[in-house]
Amino acid sequence: MSGNYKQGGTGALTSIAFRNIFRNMRRTMFCVAAVGIAVFFIVFYSSLIEGMLKSMHEVVQVFELGHVRAVSARYEAENEYSPVQYPVAEGQSLAAVMERLRAIPGVRAVFPRISAYATLQESLVKHAALWGMNMAEETAVNHFNLTDRDDGLLEGRWPGPGSNECAVGLRFAEKAGIGIGDRIPLKTVSAQFSDKMWAPVVSGIFHFDYAKADTETIIVDFSRLQRLLVLDDATQQIVVYADSPEQSRRIAAEMKTITGAEDVVTEWQDQYWIVMMNMYEPLYYLIYLIFLIVACLLIVNTITMIIHERIKEIGMMGSLGMTRAEIVQVFFFESVFLAMAGATAGVILGGVLTGIGQFFPLRWTAIAGESTFAELPAASAIFFSFSFANLLRSWFMGVLVASVFTLFPSLKSAFVEPVEALRR
């Protein structure tokens, strides 16, 4: 052995370490399983969290801000009340503003929207949110049902342009006991602070798989709600969709010069919950590290036990001329091989599971209940986010942390005196 490792250097030490992992398969399997389980959970939870974040991004972009949204400063200050008396780009032609926004490079679509509160008459549901939208145009750009990836319409049709019609969510219809062809008597407040009584006919029932929309929302044609609220040629909000979400900052900067100095332009990544979840990102990695550290403790104990059991072998290595550094390398390489095997097993298992999970949604509301995360802008069904980058990152994370932790017990082998070791 002395002649071989002296001739081969690090390569020979690596070969010795590799052969050592097959000397006690039960011990090896324990180490591999420990790291594998830890890496599996890293892959699983990181894919789940990325899937939840992606769901939140879609909800914010589709239902709230688009990629960029412009509103008046006064509306932004009172947005929890959805005031309609503060139009965006006040004093300008809405058609002209939208045309200029469409001319910005990278802009895919521009839509006017209105959101207002309504009090329902003769209904079990007493309050609702009115959404004025051009659904035919918007559904050509976005998937409103975030699970089935379609427009979300279950029955009937969307309200026609300028019509006295509306569409309601499936849960709203169930709670109110209404169906296609029924009227919904309601009252809302116009931009002139006058009460407006209205009774639109239900032309369609939708299911967006987003609890807030399915439970509280009445969708009407934009132009009809614009007239009802006496907004004339104005709108409450303008949302812009880019060719890519990453272009939002550049588009927002150009948008500010078009809508008006007093208007507020907001990018989707500045939404409250998006910012909060991004702030928690270091916490996610801390949780992953805890998984790995627990697994590494088993490897540390195992390597320490290996050193104790092979004390005579260490003495023999030293007597044959191996230096302390070379003995440390043998045990360290052995630990690295175990970590690599475990990380590979964990990545394969986690990759297969999350790869399948990206096609089958996890309905977290059925597990935790709808009220648990009612305020979160997320669909009720979440898909795992599968990516090779995540698998590679998890593998390197597992190998690196396990290798660092096993360096310390490996150093212990360097302080075993050959003569003392051979006496035991």
pLDDT in tens, 263-286: 999 999 998 888 888 887 788 778
Question: Letter for the amino acid at 366?
Answer: A
More confident of the two residues 378 and 103:
103
Confidence of residue 299 (pLDDT cuts 50, 70, 90): low
Sign, Cα dihedral of 180, 181, 185, 191: positive
**Higher pLDDT among residues 34 and 241, named by residue:** 241
Distance CA 190, CA 84 (A): 7
Give me the pLDDT at residue 200, please.
95
Residue 127 host element (H or E) = strand 127-133
pLDDT computed for residue 195 by the predictor: 92
Which has more confidence, 103 or 419?
103
Q: pLDDT tier at 110 (50, 70, 90 boundaries)?
A: very high
Report d(CA 131, CA 113) in Å as an integer. 7
Mean pLDDT of the region 360-389: 72
Confidence band (pLDDT; 50, 70, 90) for 370? low
Q: Which residues contact 241 (CB under 8 A, 6 or more apart)?
A: 61, 66, 67, 107, 108, 109, 110, 111, 141, 142
Q: What is the pLDDT of residue 307?
A: 66
What distance in Å separates the CA atoms of residue 204 and residue 214, rounded to the nearest whole number?
A: 12
Determine the pLDDT at residue 3: 44
Q: What is the DSSP letter of 85?
A: S
pLDDT band at 375 (very low <50, low <70, confident <90, very high): low
pLDDT at 212 over 70: yes
Which is nearest to 72 in space by CA: 94, 52, 53?
94
DSSP string covering 157-224: -PPPTT-SEEEEEHHHHHHHT--TT-B--EEEE-TTS-EEEE--EEEEEE--S-HHHHHHEEEEEHHH
CA distance 410 to 163: 77
What SS3 state is found at 94? helix
Among the listed residues 377, 373, 396, 393, the one whose alpha carbon sits nearest the alpha carbon of residue 385: 393
Side chain identity at 170, as an amino acid letter? L
For residue 146, the number of C-alpha atoms closer than 13 Å in the C-beta half-sphere is: 27
Confidence band, pLDDT 50/70/90 cuts, at residue 119: very high
Distance CA 405, CA 207 (A): 51
Residues β-bridged to residue 165:
201
26-62 pLDDT, tens per residue? Answer: 778 877 888 888 888 888 888 888 888 888 899 999 9
**Which one of 39-43, 54-58, 162-166, 357-361 scores highest in mean pLDDT?**
162-166
Cα 374 to Cα 377: distance, rounded to the nearest angstrom = 8
Rg of the chain taking only CA atoms, in angstroms: 31
pLDDT above 70: percentage of residues in the chain: 87
Whether the pLDDT of residue 4 is over 70: the answer is: no
Q: What is the mean pLDDT of residues 213-219?
A: 92
Q: What is the pLDDT of residue 365?
A: 61
- The Cβ of residue 269 has, within 10 Å, a number of other Cβ atoms equal to 17
What's the predicted TM-score (pTM) here? 0.79
According to DSSP, residue 150 is labeled B
pLDDT of residue 142: 93
Q: Where are the domains of the chain?
A: 2-58+278-423, 113-235
